[in-house]
Amino acid sequence: MEMLTTYWWVIPIIVSLVAYKLILKFFGIVVVPNDAVGIVNKRFSLFGAHRTLPDGAIIALKGEAGLQADTLAPGLHYWLWPWQYDISLEDFVTIPEGKIGVVEAKDGVPLGSGRVLAKYVDSDSFQDARKFIEQGGERGPQMTIIPPGTYRINTALFTVSEEPVLEIPDNRVGIVTVKEGRPLEKGEIAGKEIPGHNLYQNAQEFLNNGGFKGLQEQVILAGRYFINPRFATVEIREMTTVPIANVGVVISYVGKTGVDVTGDSFRHGNLVKQGEKGVWVDPLDPGKYPINPYTHKVEIVPTANVVLNWATGKSEAHKLDEKLSTIKVRSSDGFTFNLDVSQIIHIPRTDAPKVIARFGSVANLVTQVLEPTIGNYFRNAAQGSDVIGFLKSRKERQDDAKEAISKALGEYNVGAVDTLIGDIVPPDDLMKTLTDRKIAEQEKITYDTQREAENVRKDLQQAKALADTQARVVDAERKVQINEFEARAAVKKAEGEAQSKTLNAEADAMVLEKVGAAEGTKIKSVGTAEADVIQLKIKSMDSGNYAAIEVAKALAASGFKLVPDIIAGGESGGQGSLVNTLMAMVIRDQISKGEKSGVVTATVS
């Protein structure tokens, strides 16, 4: 209690601080914070000619009762008595980064017939409500947007909603459809390009320059754009890509009517210059192009070789042959069989627009020309031959087909590179017959091969045996050569020895001759003497007895058997018989010795 008595003066200050706004308001003073705007609603007007708003008006410009066009800026404002004015504080309008503010006005001039957006009025980005209404601002959705930032806007007049900023990624284009503008001209599907509107970001300039309502021919590229979504919608699409080894033939649905540039040589369609309506004579080379797919169509035409397969279930990556199937043909002998065919075509770059002008697409070229042309050719070819003949003449058929199809396709500005016959499937019955025949032929070949293999094996064994004996043959041949060399050496040796012996014999002969001569002289002298003695002895005895005695002496001196093992002779006991026998044995012994020594000397008296 004592404490309250001491600090009583604090209570009035606290009350004043709490009730200061009420006090200020009571005295007609309004405080607007720095981040707010004061919206004034006048309850009544006592003086002046304009005490009430005009019919249909919402915002007061001349002090009439109602919502006032002028707002209260941050700070102190006087003479705003609470019984006459109702002040509401509203935060500033803040548009964050990546957003735009789309505005709708609650008051202003009504929109004209057929209009959907209010025209642009310079009102400091809708911060000057009085100026907006006084300069003829229209009520309703505004074509002008508010970029990112903070604004002091009278929310009693304007409603601001946030919309995302338009972002177009790389390699994409924006296809624009405008909701406000002139109606399209008769026969046109899109508005022609209008200059000066900064890619639809300045909607009022677009309209001032005569922009058309609806689809626009002009596209916008990658980037960030402040486009009012109530003025134009943007569809993001991929850029048109023309792959390598292809060209893009442009079919334009917009532009002025073109004049055909092909002349009388091409009567199957018109080709026009770039920018005109029709098929452009100059195709697009490989690359990426920002083309509006609703106003221009780009037909991709391959300029490299294209393979098309007439084979069920088989298709190339380009898918142009996905609807083609195996060709069913009938032969002259009544058999039906299936035939797979591959056709390689080439469309020159300069002829690509002609193909599109004639057929509209490469797919139409395949279905309208290639499929019937190739199918009918092989059906006709099959009817002129039996199945076996068709199979055997496959290469000739293929060459004939290439020539005939090339000539046919040349009339359509298409080059036929090659025609290839693939799998040929004869009827099952015929196929079984051919298979059995082939198996028999193969078995015969197998047997022949086995026989040849056996012959080869026999030759191999012989060669192997020959190889095994080759070492011995070589050894024997070497031995023969060695023996020949040894024999020649022996002959040479014998010849040398014979020559040596001859020389020795000649020398011995000369010695013997000399010695013999001396001996002969000696013997002759001795013999003469002995003969004289013997003569005397013979004279002294009988000549036969003397001979027997001499023979016996000679035999005894030689050690010869005096009595032979066998004695055969004539008269027994005869002196002549014994002498003859002994002489025969001596001669026989001498002959035998002579044969052993190689020298036989016979003396005949």
506-530 residue pLDDT tens = 767 676 677 667 666 766 666 666 6
Residue 392 banded pLDDT, cuts 50, 70, 90: confident
Whole-number Å distance between alpha carbons of 39 and 106: 15
Whole-number Å distance between alpha carbons of 264 and 262: 7
pLDDT value at residue 583 = 61
Whether the CB-CB separation of 26 and 68 falls below 8 Å is answered with no
What string of DSSP letters covers 149-196? EEE---TTTEEEEEEEPEEE-TTEEEEEEESSSBPPPTT-SSBPP-SS
pLDDT value at residue 571 = 45
Quote the mean pLDDT of the chain.
83
Greatest mean pLDDT among 155-159, 447-451, 543-547: 155-159
**Angle between helix 543-558 and helix 428-540 axes, rounded to 10 deg:** 130
Whether the CB-CB separation of 67 and 40 falls below 8 Å is answered with yes
Domain ranges of the chain: 10-163, 165-238, 301-425, 427-469, 543-597
More confident residue, 587 or 143: 143
440-493 residue pLDDT tens = 888 888 888 888 888 888 888 887 877 777 777 777 777 777 877 777 777 777
Report, as an integer, the average pLDDT of 559-587: 53
184-225 residue pLDDT tens = 988 899 999 999 999 999 999 999 999 999 999 999 999 999
Instruction: Say whether pLDDT at 364 is over 60.
Output: yes
Pick from 12, 81, 94, 7: nearest CA to 40: 81
Indicate the pTM of the whole model.
0.63
Fold of 301-425: Tetrahydropterin Synthase; Chain A (3.30.479)
pLDDT value at residue 605 = 35
Question: Tokens at residue 108, please?
Answer: 């202003």
β-pair type (296-302, 276-280): unpaired
Sign of the Cα torsion 138, 142, 148, 150 reads: positive
Whole-number Å distance between alpha carbons of 77 and 64: 19
Report, as an integer, the average pLDDT of 160-173: 96
Instruction: Find the length of the chain.
Output: 605
Instruction: Say whether pLDDT at 405 is over 80.
Output: yes
Report, as an integer, the average pLDDT of 242-246: 95
Pick from 343, 336, 338, 342: nearest CA to 327: 338
What string of DSSP letters covers 69-89? SS-BPSEEE-S--TTTEEEEE
Report, as an integer, the average pLDDT of 70-82: 92
Percent of the chain exceeding pLDDT 90 equals 46
Looking up tokens 């601001």, which residue turns up?
160
Whether the CB-CB separation of 200 and 232 falls below 8 Å is answered with yes
SS3 content of the chain, % helix, strand, coil (to 5): 40, 25, 35
